[in-house]
Amino acid sequence: MIALASVVLVLGAPDGVEPDQADNVDEVSEGLPAPAPPALVDVGPNPEMELGLELGEPTGLIFAKKLNPAGRLTARLGLLHRVDPYLFGADAPVFGAGYEHDLLQVPVPGWQAHLTGGAGTLLWMRGAYHRTQPLLALEARIGLRLRRPNSPLTIAAHVSPQMDLLPYQTPAIVGGLSFTWDLGAALGAASAQPETPVDEPVEQEQAKPEPAVEKKSGKRSRSKVRKSKKRH
């Protein structure tokens, strides 16, 4: 009997959630606010000039000059590591020039982050078969540029598909990481000197002489006394 009663209770229990309760749950979930996307960080305009170090391909100094609010000209001087595509050495000084542009700002907590794109050329000299010959390559740059509020440092990473043009045509894929410093902030901090307050001379007001009081009242009283004596 006990077993039969338990079976009857189980069969008589409602299956799942009633439709009214399900509707209430949906209404509550719809009423909740959607999670806010990460806010974009704004650290102000790009620096006018930047100078720093680039590690990768090539490794050396990198300089950037602001050309427009979102773009800059770049120049690099360093060493090109690869002897041939996908091989590495350290005996080729290289000069590079190009243009880089901020394409899209992406949310990164605490950083102003931009996806960047650009193009450039690389020219370097290499000795081969007892003679020195110039080599030329074109590259496209795709990267990520990071800046923090109230910091003159910029960190950037890039991947660059390259195409060697001289003396032969060969593709390559290289990359690098750069750290640049805002030259304007550095030069401004060096040139800024605390101004010493200049004490302005205090103009002392000259004491004006008080006007002399005419003693006419005494003379008038004496003349009146004399006239009264004569009458008597």
Of 23-32, 41-50, 160-169, 206-215, where does the model show the most confidence?
41-50
Instruction: Report yes or no on 70 lying in a domain.
Output: yes
Instruction: Report yes or no on 174 lying in a domain.
Output: yes
100-108 mean pLDDT: 96
Q: Which domain holds residue 162?
A: 49-189
Whether 12 shows a pLDDT value over 70: the answer reads no
Enter the tokens of residue 127: 């000795």
Residue with the bigger pLDDT between 25 and 120: it is: 120
* Per-position DSSP letters for the chain, written without gaps between them: -HHHHHHHHHHHSPPS--HHHHHHHHHHHHHSPPPPPPPPP---SPPSEEEEEEEESSEEEEEEEEEETTEEEEEEEEEE--SSTT---S-EEEEEEEEEEEEEEEEETTEEEEEEEEEEEEEEEEEETTEEEEEEEEEEEEEEEEE-TT--EEEEEEEEEEEEEESS-EEEEEEEEEEEEEHHHHHHHHH--PPPPPPPPPPPPPPPPPPPPP-HHHHHHHHHHHHHHHH-
Backbone φ, ψ for residue 44 (5° rounding): 100, -175
Residue pair 154/145 in contact (Cβ under 8 Å)? The answer is yes
Instruction: Report yes or no on 80 lying in a domain.
Output: yes
pLDDT of residue 57: 83
Instruction: Report yes or no on 39 lying in a domain.
Output: no
Each residue of 120-144: pLDDT tens digit?
Answer: 999 987 655 545 667 889 999 999 9
Instruction: Report yes or no on 14 lying in a domain.
Output: no
Instruction: Report yes or no on 216 lying in a domain.
Output: no
Measured CA to CA, the distance from residue 180 to residue 22 in angstroms comes to 57
Instruction: Report yes or no on 99 lying in a domain.
Output: yes
Q: Quote the Cα angle for 163-165-171, to 5°.
A: 25
Each residue of 34-84: pLDDT tens digit?
Answer: 666 678 889 999 999 999 999 988 899 999 999 999 999 999 999 877 655
184-205 mean pLDDT: 61
84-98 mean pLDDT: 72
pLDDT of residue 225: 47
Whether 159 shows a pLDDT value over 90: the answer reads yes
pLDDT of residue 8: 47
141-157 mean pLDDT: 95
Q: What is the mean pLDDT of the chain?
A: 76
pLDDT of residue 93: 82
CATH, residue 90: 2.40.160.20
94-110 mean pLDDT: 95
Q: Quote the Cα angle for 221-222-223, to 5°.
A: 90
Residue pair 105/113 in contact (Cβ under 8 Å)? The answer is yes
pLDDT of residue 212: 54
User: How many angstroms separate the Cα of 31 from the Cα of each of 4, 24, 37, 84, 128?
Assistant: 45, 11, 18, 61, 73
Q: How confident is the model at residue 165 (pLDDT cuts 50, 70, 90)?
A: confident
Whether 206 shows a pLDDT value over 70: the answer reads no
Domain count, the chain: 1
The residue written with tokens 């000197």 in the block is 193
Residue 28: how many CB atoms within 10 A of its CB?
9
Instruction: Report yes or no on 19 lying in a domain.
Output: no
Q: Estimate to the nearest angstrom the gap between the alpha carbon of 3 and the chain centroid.
A: 75
